[in-house]
């Protein structure tokens, strides 16, 4: 195997690795989920955030443009979704949602944290970076 062949093999392995770890829903869009779609969403995305919200909730309305903006900021890295707690009561009960908005963070399909209430964009980014991208 020549040096060029070895370099091509490394490039090929890197491309395959990138494809295998990509977040299919991390396209800068906040996906609307049904409760039955949660498990699939969090397992098919390495990093995922789900916003449990209600349409009547003022802090939820404050967070909506921030969440959409962060979906763009973290495009290709973090997948964002929303679940309407009034329409998906079973999911809200399963995740013990007592306040809206409540954001759940998932890494490799596992819940790594959650928080409730409105946050400034920079504070939300710090939470994302700490839970998903901190140096070990």
Whole-number pLDDT of residue 120? 95
Structural domains of the chain sorted by starting position, each given as residue range(s) with its CATH number in brackets: 24-132 (3.40.30.10)
pLDDT higher for 127 or 3? Answer: 127
Question: Quick check: is 60 catalytic?
Answer: yes
pLDDT band for 19, please (50, 70, 90 cuts): very low
Enter the pTM of the model.
0.80
Beta strands in 17-84 (DSSP E): 30-32, 47-53, 79-84
Question: Quick check: is 37 catalytic?
Answer: no
Among residues 84, 75, 85, 128, the alpha carbon closest in space to that of 105 is found at 128
Instruction: Please tell me which residue in 22, 54, 57, 127 is annotated as part of the active site.
Output: 57
Instruction: Please tell me which residue in 49, 60, 63, 71 is annotated as part of the active site.
Output: 60
Whole-number pLDDT of residue 21? 44
């Amino acid at each position: 195997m020549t040096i060029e062949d070895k370099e091509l093999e490394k490039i090929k392995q890197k491309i395959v690795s990138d494809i295998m770890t990509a977040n299919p829903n991390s396209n800068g869009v906040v996906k609307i989920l049904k409760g039955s779609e949660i498990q699939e969403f969090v397992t098919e995305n390495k990093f995922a955030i789900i916003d449990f919200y209600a349409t009547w909730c003022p802090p939820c309305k404050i967070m909506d443009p921030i969440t959409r903006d962060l979906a763009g900021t973290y495009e290709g890295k973090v997948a964002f979704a929303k679940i309407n707690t009034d329409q998906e009561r079973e999911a809200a009960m399963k995740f013990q949602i007592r306040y809206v908005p409540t954001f759940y963070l998932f890494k490799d399909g596992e819940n790594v944290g959650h928080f409730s209430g409105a946050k400034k964009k920079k504070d939300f980014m710090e939470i994302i970076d700490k839970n998903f991208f901190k140096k070990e």
